[in-house]
Amino acid sequence: MTDDRRGAVDAVDSVIVALADPTRRHLLDLLAAKGEITATTLAEGLPVSRQAVAKHLTVLAAAGLVSGNRVGREVRYAVHPAALDAAARRMAAIAADWDRRLATIKNLAEAAEREYR
């Protein structure tokens, strides 16, 4: 596997890992709905501490799903959809590949059944 391909796979893997946690998915939903917002404001509506929110945001940022913008003493986070789009495209390509494989198996099974009759 080439370095570019390995990097693309690693990026998709990090998005999937980041989205595996329900709290991170909820944070992403909140950011998408509210726009640019601080970890403190996000934590106000959640049953987790501000520090836990900040750690989740770090994982989301490492996956490229959010970005932070420092404004004075605060860091305001916003959704960065490019990584999610790339992961969705990769998963769609995998699904299409499986559809092709399953269609081939179906055709072979149907052909074998016709020959058997």
More confident residue, 52 or 116: 52
Q: Give the pLDDT mean for 23-41.
A: 94
Reported as type and span, the H/E element at residue 68 is strand 66-71
5-9, 24-28, 44-48: lowest mean pLDDT where?
A: 5-9
Q: Quick one: pLDDT at residue 107?
A: 94
pLDDT in tens, 51-76: 999 999 999 999 999 999 999 999 99
Reported CATH class of domain 3-116: mainly alpha
Q: Are 69 and 35 in contact (CB under 8 A)?
A: no
Instruction: Report percent pLDDT > 90 for the chain.
Output: 72
Q: Give the pLDDT mean for 77-90.
A: 90
If pLDDT is split at 50, 70 and 90, which confidence band does 2 have? Answer: low
Instruction: Report in angstroms the alpha-carbon separations of 10 from 32, 61, 62, 86.
Output: 24, 14, 11, 12
Average pLDDT score over the chain: 90
Residue 100 has pLDDT above 70, yes or no: yes
Amino acid letter, residue 12: V
What SS3 class is residue 38? Answer: strand
More confident residue, 4 or 54: 54
> What global pTM score does this model have?
0.76
